[in-house]
Amino acid sequence: MSSDYNAGTERRGRSREKLATLVKTRTETLSLYTELANQRPFEADEATREALQDFCQALIDYAASAHFQLYRYIADKLERRTPVLEVADTVYPRIVQTTDMILRFNDKYEGVDLMSCSEEVLERLAADLSALGETLAERIQLEDQVISAMTGQVH
C-alpha cells in the first residue's frame, strides 16, 4: 500500500510540475501577444517585426509545452484519475482545433518580412491576431478545465 501511495504522490508531483511549466509558457505567450497587439495599427518597422517574431516563437513553445506537459502525460496513461480523463476526453478535440489555428497563424507569419510587406499584409495581421486572441481565450478556458480536474478543483 505504501509504495502505491508513494507512486501516486510522485505522479501528482510530476503532474503539478508539468502544469506549472504549461502555465508559465502560457503566461509568457499572452504577455507577448499583448505586446504585439499594442503595436496596432501595425507598421512595417523593426519594433513590430521583432514583436511578431518573439510572439510566434513563444506561441509555438506554448503549443508544444501544452502538448508535452499536459496532453502527452494523459495520453501516455500516466494520469489515472477518472475525472481528469473524462474532462480531457471531452475537451481534447477542441484543443486540437485550437492547436491547428495556432500552427496556421505561425506558418503564415513566422517568415513574413514586415519590413518589405504590403499594407494588406499588415491589415491581415491585425485581423488574424484578433481571431487568434479568441482562439487563445478558448484554449485557455479548455486547458483550465483539465488543470482544475488534475488539481482536484472540479466543481
pLDDT of residue 32: 98
Q: Would you say residue 150 has pLDDT above 90?
A: no
Domain 2-150 CATH superfamily: Regulator of RNA polymerase sigma(70) subunit, domain 4 (1.20.120.1370)
Residue 40 to residue 55: CA distance in whole angstroms: 14
pLDDT digits (tens, 9 = 90+) for 93-144: 999 899 999 999 999 999 898 888 889 999 999 999 999 999 999 999 999 9
pLDDT of residue 7: 59
pLDDT digits (tens, 9 = 90+) for 20-64: 888 999 999 999 999 999 999 999 999 999 999 999 999 999 998
Q: Taking residues 60-76, what's their average pLDDT?
A: 81
Pair 148, 142: CB distance under 8 Å: no
pLDDT of residue 11: 64
Pair 41, 126: CB distance under 8 Å: yes
* 131 contact partners, CB below 8 Å, separation of at least 6: 101
Q: Would you say residue 79 has pLDDT above 80?
A: no
Residue 4 to residue 72: CA distance in whole angstroms: 22
Give me the residue spans of the domains in the chain.
2-150
Compute the half-sphere exposure of residue 74: CA atoms within 13 Å on the CB side of its CA: 22
Q: Would you say residue 86 has pLDDT above 70?
A: yes
Residue with cell string 480531457? 88
Distance of CA 91 to the CA centre of its chain: 14
Q: Would you say residue 88 has pLDDT above 60?
A: yes
* 22 contact partners, CB below 8 Å, separation of at least 6: 65, 66, 69, 70, 143, 147
CA dihedral 100, 57, 134, 49 (to 10 degrees): -120
pLDDT of residue 154: 55
Q: In a 3-state reduction of DSSP, which class is residue 18?
A: helix
Residue 40 to residue 123: CA distance in whole angstroms: 9
Q: Which amino acid is at 139?
A: R
pLDDT of residue 133: 98
